[in-house]
Structure formats: C-alpha cells, structure tokens
Amino acid sequence: MGDAAIQRVIDVCQDLDPWLEGQPSVRIEYTSLLSNSMLKELKGAKIGLAVSTQPIFFFGEEDSYRQFLSADQLKMAYGSRA
C-alpha cells in the first residue's frame, strides 16, 4: 500500500518483457500512495503495469492516515487533496 512498496514493484518489473498482449502484465493491488513521478514510471513501464486502488479505505482509515502519514504522503493518498 505504501509508496516504498509500490516503488519496489515498479523498479523490479518496469523493464521486464510483457507476457500479456493488449493489457498490463502486472497489477499492483491496494495502491494508496502514488507520487506524480511514480505515475510517470507506471505509464512508461515496458511490461505494462496497472494499479488497483480501494479509496474507500481512506474514509474508513482516515484518522490513522492523518495520524501516521506526513502532510506530503497524505496529499498523495489516493490522489486526494486533503
């Protein structure tokens, strides 16, 4: 869910040859913290990377997010402008 975990998947997979045609070969589940630079890397990945978000978590876990995320991370959470 966090930016470090998502970045690791991007780093490991982005230059791999795709094994599916016409669709992403790798889907990253529960993406919550995506920076603009990470989005650019996702779009440019050779393998084709897709993300699956569950923005309902933001509303269910809002207090925890506000307590434990930095202001910059909170702004990245699900693309919100909190």
Residue 62's H or E segment, with its range, is helix 62-68
Q: Considering its fold, how many domains does the chain have in total?
A: 1
Sign of the C-alpha dihedral computed for residues 43, 13, 1 and 69 taken in this order? negative
Q: Which domain holds residue 41?
A: 3-76
Task: Give 63's contacts (C-beta < 8 A, 6+ positions apart).
Answer: none
Q: Which of 35, 29, 81 is nearest to 51 (CA)?
A: 29
Contact 26, 50 (CB under 8 A): yes
* Residue 81 belongs to some domain of the structure: no
3-state secondary structure (DSSP) of residue 64? helix
Q: How far apart are CA 31 and CA 54, in angstroms?
A: 8
User: What tens digit of pLDDT does each residue of 13-61 get?
Assistant: 999 999 999 899 999 998 888 888 998 999 999 999 999 888 888 788 8
* Residue 60 belongs to some domain of the structure: yes
* Residue 82 belongs to some domain of the structure: no
What pTM, to 2 d.p., does this model score?
0.78
